[in-house]
Structure 1
Amino acid sequence: MRIAFIAHDKKKDDIVDFVKRYKDVFEGHEIFATGTTGKLINEMTGLKVNRFLSGPLGGDQEIGSKVAQGEMDIVIFLRDPLTSQPHEPDIAALLRICDVHCVPLATNLGSAEVFVKALKSHN
């Protein structure tokens, strides 16, 4: 599966901890991420990460493009719902494109955990 990881600044520690916890599950999949999130995941887990631009610089839209082209299977986007984001229109567009193309999208750790359980049973 092709899995994209995105995390707002206040959620970066959470996403790194999540990927570390399930590294054995993610090793068998192709990993993508926005700039800083991908760098952190790679540094902290050793997983190969295909990196896009930082989210505010277009990374969210790059992942959205992959979703629209049928080249992304799952998106895990740990959002910070309590902080205003300057690139909110890009975020909304990514969420919409996942819905349009029926690509599973986790926006918090609870839904991300459900995805991992599905990936474990898929292996």
Structure 2
Amino acid sequence: MVANKTGDATLALVAHDQMKSRMRDWAVAHERLLARYRLFATGTTGGIIGAACPSLKIKRLKSGPLGGDQQIGALIAEKKVAALIFFIDPMTALPHDVDVKALIRLSILYDIPFACNEATASLLITGMAKK
């Protein structure tokens, strides 16, 4: 598990445009648990979560299509992320689909947990908090 100086695990949070409200609602429901983690997020997703959950300290990166996905990928490759939570929109064609596939590939390659929906994300953060 990747941790910061206080021993908190690091999570990366990403959500496609049509999934940002679901990510926000999920974060609000899990705010106390998320506060245990060091959080990175792509720009817009991090801004939305931060506005809804002001107690969370979120390191906002660039917007996904502007390089934020690659920044998250670099953090994974540098082993600075313990898990990726990426709410993917299954109903919309995405012009930056290669970025999504790259994050999935890196999660597999570096053997980190990857959650792409609310149910899995909830299980992930609950399970990680027990360690």
TM (normalized to structure 1)?
Answer: 0.95
Look up the match of 2:99: 90
Unpaired segments ≥5 residues, structure 1: none
The alpha-carbon deviation at position 19 of structure 1 amounts to 0.9
Q: Distance in 1 between matches of 2:98 and 2:121?
A: 23
1:115 corresponds to which of 124, 128, 131 = 124
Unpaired segments ≥5 residues, structure 2: 1-8
Look up the match of 2:23: 15
Residues 74-99 of structure 1, C-alpha deviations (whole Å, 9 max, x = no match): 10000001101111111111110110
CA RMSD in angstroms, aligned pairs only: 0.9
Residues 22-78 of structure 1, C-alpha deviations (whole Å, 9 max, x = no match): 111111110110010000111110111101111111111110100000000010000
Equivalence map 1:60-71=2 (5 Å) = 60-71=69-80
**Aligned to 1:77, what secondary structure does the other structure show?**
strand
Give the aligned length: 122
Look up the match of 1:49: 58
The alpha-carbon deviation at position 118 of structure 1 amounts to 0.3
Percent identity over paired residues: 35
Look up the match of 1:75: 84
